[in-house]
Each structure stands twice: as C-alpha cells, then as structure tokens.
Amino acid sequence: MKSFRWTSRVAPPLAFPRSMPLQMSLLMLGTLAFSSVACTPDEVEDARPTPTGVPVQAIDHAGPKPHNILVIVIDTFRADRLGRGLTPKMDAFASEATVFNRAVTTIATTMPAHASMFTGLAPNRHGVRWNGDELADSNLTAVEILRDAGYETAAFVSKTRLLTQAGFHQGFSILSDPRNGRAPLNRSGEEITAMARDWICGEPRKPFFAWVHYNDVHSPYELNDFAKEQRGDYAGVLAEGATGKTLLANSQEIASSPEDMRMLNALYDGAVLGVDRQIGNLLDECPGDPILEDTIVILTSDHGQLLGEHRELLHGGKLWEQALRIPLIIRHPTARPGLTADERVGIADIAPTLIDLGGQNIPAGLQGRSIARAIFGEEIEERVYVSEVKREGADEEAALGPADLAVYDGHHKVIRKAGEVKIYDIANDAEEVQPIPTSQSQQLIERSQVLMDAYSQADTGAVSVKREELDPSTIDELRALGYIE
C-alpha cells in the first residue's frame, strides 16, 4: 500500500493567522471570507467553488488503492466525556490516532454545524442558520468532490431528516433512508451500526467514503441500566428519563437543583456509555477482511451540551464551551499513533481535510483549512475562529438576523450576546467562570468587535424552509428534541 505523503496542493486558507496585522486581516475578511454570490437557478453550477489547479483527480484503479475514509459523528457529544472511564472503546481508538484538543464548532445546532463540516464554510456563507434550513444545491460539499473522483459514497444517519429534508444527501450514492420514501424520525445506534457494517464489510469495492451518524447522546434520554443505578433514591422530574421538551420547559428549575443536575448527568453519561459500545462494534474488523486497517477514520461531534453549567441546559442558542467545544480524533493508517495537536481547529476544517486526504484539490473560497499536517506530527498555524448562535427567543425571519457570536483568539474567547461583550481566558478558566475586565483588553475587544460586525453583515440569501412550511411531524420532533416550545 502506498503510504501518504504531504503535498502542497492547497490554496491558502481564508482564515487568517493571529500574527497578521488587524487591518490586513480585516481586509481579507471583507473581500474574501464574507463575500457571497447572488445567482439564478441556472447559474448555480457556475456559482459553486471550483478546485484550484488541475481538475478532479480521477482514481487510477489500476494503481495503488487510495485509503477509504470513514467519518463518525456523535450528535451532541461533549469532548470532556472522553478519558473518564465512560468511553473505553473511543479512548482505545484515540490512542491509535491524533487527538485535537482544541476543536470547536461553528454553531451549537445540528444542521448548521453539519453544513459547515461538509462545506468548509461558516453558517453566514452556507446559509443554514437553524434546524429548519436546507443546504442549498449551490454549495459544493467534500462528499461530492470525493464521489466525482471515484469514491463510492454512503451515509448511515440516525437523525433521518439530515438526509430527507436538510440537504445532506448531496454527493452520496447510498443513503440509509431515501429522500422520497417514508422514514422513521430516528434510528437507534444499533440499527445504524448494523447498516453501516453490512455495507462496509459486505461490498469490498473501489475506495469508499462513509458517514455514520449517531443521535443516541442527544435528548430524549432513556433511563438505561447505568442511569438507573446512579439514580438511587432520587424521585425528581428526571427520575424516569428526560425528553427535550421536559428539559426546555423546566430548565431553570433543573439547573438550580444539584440533585436534578446529578441525575441529568447520569442520564447523559448512560447514553455516552451506550454509543461507546456502538463505536467499538462499528470499528471491529470485518470477518476475514481487514478493510478498516486501510481506512482513515475521523470521529467528531456537531456540538456539545450544557448539563446545568451556567444554570443552563441543552445547546441551541449557547456560546459556552460545553456547547461549542467538540471532540476531533483522526486515525490514519500510516500516521504515528498517540499524537496530540494543541492548535485551535474547527468543524469547518473537516471538509478541506477530507478533500486533501482524498488526494483532491481544495476549492478556492473555503473558510476552513486542511489540518492534515497535524495528523503526521507537523505543527499547524494558530488561527482565529468564529462561532455563532440563533438568537434565543428569535423566531422565523428574526432568527436569520444578526447573530450572537464568540471569537476564539489564542487562549482568549470573546462573547457578544444580546449586545453585551465578555472576555474569558479559557486556557486558565475553561469553565468560563470569571470574565476578564474589559478595561484590560481594549485591543482584543477592538479586533473581535470588527470581526463580529463583518460576520453579522454577511448575507448569502440561501434557500431556507420556514416553520410554517414544515410538516406537523417535523415540528413535533423539534419540540421533542428541545429546539422549539
């Protein structure tokens, strides 16, 4: 098998290094990172990002076979649950891989975060701002690039609306649920693991790209054996489990009660234990076929979850670390195991990294950058990252207005929420307990404020689905998950 070698195929990423002067970085943001293209339906193909340099590199099926690629997304999975005895299978996987310790999402909401993961763009560019929006066909995804290069592509997704209504079917040849058929709202982790393994183990073929999505750690939370054991004599509102609707309606009471918070953490951790078993089953070698030995495996999440920290629950509308920080672990067949990367990276970096690892040219205009170098022990540049939220309490058109934002700049995090700005030193205050006096950080505030203003002014005019156009079952699901009241 031909081993991977780093090659400089990549156009310079649009995110800017922290060492760049403020004026120059703002010029880049104004002219490149926040630019948008208005187009008619007939112009959609021309409006897509196009690869720099030579066209798509078709796979030479007579030559060495490229590595397969498997992306595992655990919805709502907090990075701090790794390494605590809850995740023995994932911890074992991490010991064979490169662990990115400072990965963050673009937004703590499922569909916009996945859109960033597949397109390499922030929500202000791909246009998906909440869970009722659909990714427009004008967005070019990493999956489409790999498919066009010769990869066989398949998606096995527990939250079926990601395929049937959110637009993330783009580029996939095999779908766990067809777009035009009846599908359950959610599939269990056991179902998804079985479907994915049947395909991966049963059909050896040209190199594959597979996306496997687990929703088990997202609410609602069942009272499984672990949670039941932890419950003891607790008899509160969470004694039999928790739906998203229950958590949303009782958030203040639960977050103010140490006993309720203890039970909520037990329910969440019980779900984590269950999905860890599924990851172990998924990554077991196929009988008689060591296909996963030749597979690049990426494990991540779309966002985290608040479990009472800051007296808040859930994740939508949150800018705290518990919601924005995500796990990111990449195992490459030829890379040295047990590496860690401490540079800040983001979920939008996954798309260009996938394209790069698949031997393809990264399109110009992406906001994410390839972080493949780090998998092989090389340092990558520190960059500034921006995360947004749909404003709490905002509805329909208002939800697409100026967003509350967080700027990650080195070890500082600047949060603007409801017009108020707070700064945290998250290297020394990871729980964001004590904000830094703004009087001590005027330059940082100035830099972040201009970035936030530029970000908020961007408008892609992307296709969206308004709530009144959603069918009753979708609205019921969003309520059950805790996204709307």
Q: How is residue 392 annotated by DSSP?
A: T
Look at domain 22-481 and name its CATH class.
alpha beta
The CA–CA distances, whole Å, from 118 to 28, 33, 114, 124, 329 equal 23, 17, 6, 15, 17
Whether residue 320 is predicted with pLDDT greater than 80 in this model: the reply is yes
Which element (helix H / strand E) includes 126? helix 123-126
Using DSSP, state whether 372 is helix, strand or coil: helix
- What number is the average pLDDT over the span 145-150? 96
**Torsion (CA) 94, 99, 101, 102 in degrees, nearest 10:** -130
Q: How is residue 220 annotated by DSSP?
A: S
Q: What is the pTM of this model?
A: 0.84
Q: How is residue 286 annotated by DSSP?
A: B
For residue 16, the model assigns a pLDDT of 42
Across 4-18, 77-91, 159-173, least confident range: 4-18
For residue 68, the model assigns a pLDDT of 96
Tokens standing for residue 99: 């662990």
What backbone phi and psi angles, to 5 degrees, belong to 406? -125, 135
pLDDT band at residue 391 using 50, 70 and 90 as cut-offs = low
Whether residue 40 is predicted with pLDDT greater than 90 in this model: the reply is no
CB 299 within 8 A of CB 329: yes
pLDDT band at residue 62 using 50, 70 and 90 as cut-offs = very low
For residue 180, the model assigns a pLDDT of 65
d(CA 402, CA 400): 7
Using DSSP, state whether 51 is helix, strand or coil: strand
Q: Where are the beta strands (DSSP E) in 324-379?
A: 325-326, 328-331, 339-346
CB 324 within 8 A of CB 304: yes
- What number is the average pLDDT over the span 39-68? 48
Strands 208-214 and 174-175: unpaired
Whether residue 220 is predicted with pLDDT greater than 50 in this model: the reply is yes
For residue 436, the model assigns a pLDDT of 94
Q: How is residue 156 annotated by DSSP?
A: E
pLDDT band at residue 441 using 50, 70 and 90 as cut-offs = confident
CA dihedral sign of residues 395, 396, 399, 402: negative
d(CA 260, CA 263): 5
Alpha helix positions (H), 382-471? 442-457
CA dihedral sign of residues 82, 83, 85, 88: positive
CB 156 within 8 A of CB 181: no
Whether residue 277 is predicted with pLDDT greater than 70 in this model: the reply is yes
- What number is the average pLDDT over the span 445-462? 76
pLDDT band at residue 341 using 50, 70 and 90 as cut-offs = very high
What does the pLDDT look like over 164-219, one tens digit per residue? 788 899 999 999 987 666 677 789 999 999 999 999 998 657 799 999 999 999 99
d(CA 42, CA 28): 29
Strands 306-307 and 295-300: unpaired
Across 190-194, 286-290, 399-403, least confident range: 399-403
pLDDT band at residue 359 using 50, 70 and 90 as cut-offs = very high
Whether residue 59 is predicted with pLDDT greater than 80 in this model: the reply is no
Every domain of the chain and the residues it spans: 22-481
Whether residue 239 is predicted with pLDDT greater than 80 in this model: the reply is yes
